């Protein structure tokens, strides 16, 4: 079983930046894909950015050019660099593996972007 702990969220003004961290523990060798998801108030959880064990990345259209996902395999940590933040980026951000029925979610980290 793999566990993920998110950190780095906070309050930032529009146009600012934040760097989120996701520390993975457990059977991390079995993970082929790790992604950042977010859930804004009143909205469904959505995939923001993902990265495979081979370094292939993908992003939601809404964050392309602004967010960058990366990983440090030695530290079992995934990062999300968020630049040019917008109020619509406000959400709780989670990291996890590819979506699957019954998967567990951690506490996430709150990102609030003020206008």
The 10s digit of each residue's pLDDT in 47-98 is: 999 999 899 999 999 999 999 999 998 889 999 999 999 999 999 999 999 9
109-114 and 10-13: which strand pairing?
A: parallel
Band the pLDDT of 36: cuts 50, 70, 90.
Answer: very high
Backbone angles phi, psi at 28, to 5 degrees: -65, -20
Q: Which residues pair with 12 in a beta bridge?
A: 113
Question: What is the per-residue pLDDT across 2-26, written as a single tens digit (0 to 9) for each?
Answer: 999 999 999 999 999 999 999 999 9
């Amino acid at each position: 079983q793999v566990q993920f702990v998110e950190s780095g969220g906070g309050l930032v003004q529009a146009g600012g930046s934040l760097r989120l961290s996701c520390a993975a523990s457990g059977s991390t060798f079995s993970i082929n894909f790790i992604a950042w998801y977010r859930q804004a108030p009143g909205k469904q959880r959505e995939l923001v950015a993902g990265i495979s064990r081979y370094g292939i990345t993908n992003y939601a259209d809404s964050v392309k050019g602004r967010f960058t996902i990366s990983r440090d395999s030695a530290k079992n940590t995934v990062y999300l660099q968020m630049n040019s933040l917008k109020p619509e980026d406000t959400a709780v951000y989670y990291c996890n593996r590819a979506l699957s029925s019954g998967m567990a979610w951690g506490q996430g980290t709150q990102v609030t972007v003020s206008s």
